[in-house]
Structure 1
Amino acid sequence: MTASLHLDLGLLLQLLLLTCWQTPGLVGATVPAAPVNVSVTQLRAHSAMVTWNVPQGDTVIGYSISQQRQDGLMQRSIREVNTSSRWCVLWDLDEDTHYSVQVQSVGPQDDSQPSRAVHFRTLEKSDHYPAGVLDHNEPAMEGLGMTPHLQTGELLIITTVLLLWAAVIALFCRQYDIIKDNDSNSCKEKAKRPLVRAPPPYYSTSAGSSPIYHNGAVRSSRLHRASSSISIIRV
């Protein structure tokens, strides 16, 4: 009887442990690890982007973000489930203000531990920093590896645009100089050409006309030029 009772208690204990192992929500449920490589990019005066990575092997169905001003005047929580996104945009921020943000992974049963707090400062409206530039004076800043890539891409685009504009301006100036030189050469050629004067008009009478006598004077029947006419006077 005693042996049978010990056997029943042992079997019951094994069944209880097996049931707890198959139902993590009851005892010892596993939770995902905290997100890693948390970084803040795309800083603006009133917005910023938070990105992170999830360790391999963890089952994650969403994320939870805690945002807080360092002066303690504002706190905000953002929670998204049924998503595989690894980024989130923080909006409605105050310009030139220091914030801290923490990210948690949402698992099927429970949330992970919060990540290490990341501090950042929003820009002023007058600032013109490239997208992705963080406040390097913050000691807890993470994820700076993305910043050089963003800066390099933007610099390449700006340099390409400037080179194209320079090429267009140079081509325009060259065409303008060619047109100007052609106009100048045409004017010089016109100035070097001699002026052609028209010959004076000739006046002549008809070939069948007879000599004209007037007061003893005889004129030639053909007058080639009015200025060269000859008059003969007989005594």
Structure 2
Amino acid sequence: MERIFLLVVSCLGVSRVLADSLSPPVNVTIKELKANSAVVSWDIPDGDLVIGFAITQQKKDVRMLRFIQEVNTTTRSCVLWDLEEETDYIVHVQSISMSGTSPLSEPLRFRTQKEAETQASKSKDEVTMEEVGQSTQLRAGELIIIVVVLIMWAGVIALFCRQY
């Protein structure tokens, strides 16, 4: 019984050592800063076997956190969305491996822009990929609704024809 307990304790100790050996992400930066979104990017030290990342986003002076978990290890960036304009935020990035998580990266502080500043940097004729993506999503949603309604009407007509 005593040997089994020692084995379990030693296994727990080994996994803790492996988790602690994972280094936090480095070079955490903010790119594409806008009024309501930003892109956070980072690098990982060579040799770390990473299976994902965890990003924590917090408004400065507010205790509430947003936690984002990314499992795509080929991309070293994440879009932070639904931000408030002219607001200070703090971001941390953490690496995730099979044996646990790394310590948090150094805190990165940034401030979102005013909506007017974002619009001023874009010309009237310029269309962004976000705007194109939103209209595509809207059209896809509308198409799904139309198809569902048509199928329902076809079912109603089929039931009506069967009855007579």
State whether TM-score is above 0.5.
yes
**Within-5 A mapping of 1:43-192:** 43-72=33-62, 74-81=64-71, 83-128=73-118
1:82: Cα distance to partner? 5.1
Select the structure that is richer in strand: 2
8 Å CA contact 1:39, 1:51 repeated in 2 = yes
State the distance in 2 between where 1:117 and 1:27 align: 29
Letter in 2 for 1:28: V
1:81: Cα distance to partner? 2.4
Select the structure that is richer in helix: 2
1:73: Cα distance to partner? 5.8
State the distance in 2 between where 1:72 and 1:85 align: 29
1:61: Cα distance to partner? 0.3
Kindly report structure 1 stretches of 4+ aligned residues shifted beyond 3 Å: 128-131
Q: Give the corresponding residue for 1:27.
A: 13
Structure number with higher relative contact order (C-alpha < 8 Å, ≥ 6 residues apart): 2
TM-score (norm 2): 0.61
| Helix, strand or coil at the partner of 1:27 | helix
Deviations 1:126-160 (A, max 9, x none): 114769xxxxxxxxxxxxxxxxxxxxxxxxxxxxx
Q: Identity, % of aligned pairs?
A: 44
TM-score (norm 1): 0.44
Backbone CA RMSD of aligned residues: 2.8
Letter in 1 for 2:59: R
| Helix, strand or coil at the partner of 1:96 | coil
1:93: Cα distance to partner? 0.2
Equivalent residues, number = 114
Instruction: Flag structure 1 segments of 5+ consecutive residues without an equivalent.
Output: 1-11, 132-235
State the distance in 2 between where 1:102 and 1:79 align: 12
State the distance in 2 between where 1:94 and 1:48 align: 11
